[in-house]
Structure 1
Amino acid sequence: MNIDFKNEEILFLEGETGTVGLIKVAYENKMLFIATQDNEEIVQFLESDDIIAVSNFKKDKRAIRSQAYLSREESSPIVILNKDHPSTKRLETVLSIGEKVNLNCNITPGTHPEQDVLCSCDSLSGLEISKTPTGVKLNKNFDKFTIEKF
C-alpha cells in the first residue's frame, strides 16, 4: 500500500495504544549523528526522501511533531541507551531515520542504533515502512491514518 504526502506534511499512523508520525528528511541530503552507549558517534548519511519516523505511546501528536522538528530542522543527534538503562522505562517518544523502518513492539525503546527498527504499540507492530519518491510504502493495507500540515 502506497501513501503519498508532501514535504510540508506529516503522516500519522494511528494504533490503539500509540501513534507513529512520518515526515521526509526533505530539502537536502543530510548527516545524522547517533551517540552510542560505547561513547562512539556513528554518522549516517541521509537522502532527502528518507523517512523520519517518530513513535509515541501516549498518542501525543505534539510530541511527535516536536521530535520530528528537532531531527529534521535542528539536526538533533539521536542518543542510544543501554538496554538496562533506567530511562528506557520512561521513554514515551522514540525515533528512527532512514530509507525504511520496521515497527516492533518487542524491543526496548531507545536501545537500537540500527535505524531500521522502531519500538511501537502492539497494533502497529509488524508494519514495514519504506520510502518512495512521493511518500511511503507499507507492507500491508492500513486504513487508520491521517495526513496533516507539518
Structure 2
Amino acid sequence: MNVSVGDDVLHVKGTHSFLLVAVVRENFPLCIEASHEEYCQGVHAGDLVVVSAPEAGPVEPALMLLELVRTYHLPLVVLPRDHPGSKRIPYVVSVGPAIQTSCSIVRGTHPEQHLVCSSDELAGIIVCRTGDGIAISPLPGTFTLERLPSRENR
C-alpha cells in the first residue's frame, strides 16, 4: 500500500500497538550512542523516521520522540543487549530509507537502523519512501491508518 503523507505523520494502528512514520525534511548526521562507542549515520531528506510502540500507549510522547529526531536531530541511545531497562522502554525509533519491524529483537538494544522493535501483530512490515509517499507492506489484517498533522500544522 502506498500512502501520501506530505509533511504529516502516518499513524499505523494495530489492536494493541502502533507505528508512527514520517519523512525526514533535511540531511543531518544521526549520532548513535552505544555503551562503548559512538558512531554517526548520514540521514538524507526523504528518509523515514519510524517510532514503534510495541505495547501502544499515548501517541503524544511518540510524536515528541519522532520530532526530537526528525526536527531537532537528537542522538539515539542504544542499551547493551542484557540491560534491565530495555523492558521499560515504551517507544523505540529507527531512521533510514527503509525500515523493517521485528518482534524478535530486544527494545532499545539494536543499533542497526534498518530494523525497529515491534509487537508481534506489526512484525515483518517494511516501510520505505516512494516518490509520492510511503510504501507499507505487508499490512496486517487488523490495522488502521491515520494521517496526523505535523508539528507545524497542529
Per-residue Cα deviation, 1:27-80 (whole angstroms, up to 9, x for no partner): x21110101122x11111111100000011234210111101111121110001
TM-score w.r.t. the length of structure 2 is: 0.90
User: Is contact 1:17-1:122 (8 Å) kept?
Assistant: no
Structure 1 unaligned blocks of 5 or more: none
Aligned residues: 147
Cα distance in 1 for residues equivalent to 2:131 and 2:21: 14
Aligned pairs for 1:4-43 (under 5 A) are: 4-7=4-7, 9-26=8-25, 28-38=26-36, 40-43=37-40
**Residue type of the partner of 1:51?**
L
**Residue type of the partner of 2:4?**
D
Structure 2 partner of 1:3: 3
Using the aligned pairs only, state the percent identity. 29
Cα distance in 1 for residues equivalent to 2:109 and 2:129: 23
Query: What's the secondary structure of 2:121's corresponding residue?
Result: helix
Cα distance in 1 for residues equivalent to 2:125 and 2:91: 18
Query: What's the secondary structure of 1:74's corresponding residue?
Result: coil
Structure 1 partner of 2:144: 144
Structure 2 unaligned blocks of 5 or more: none
TM-score w.r.t. the length of structure 1 is: 0.92
Aligned pairs for 1:46-57 (under 5 A) are: 46-56=43-53, 57=55
**Residue type of the partner of 1:134?**
D
Q: How far apart are 1:141 and its partner, in Å?
A: 4.1
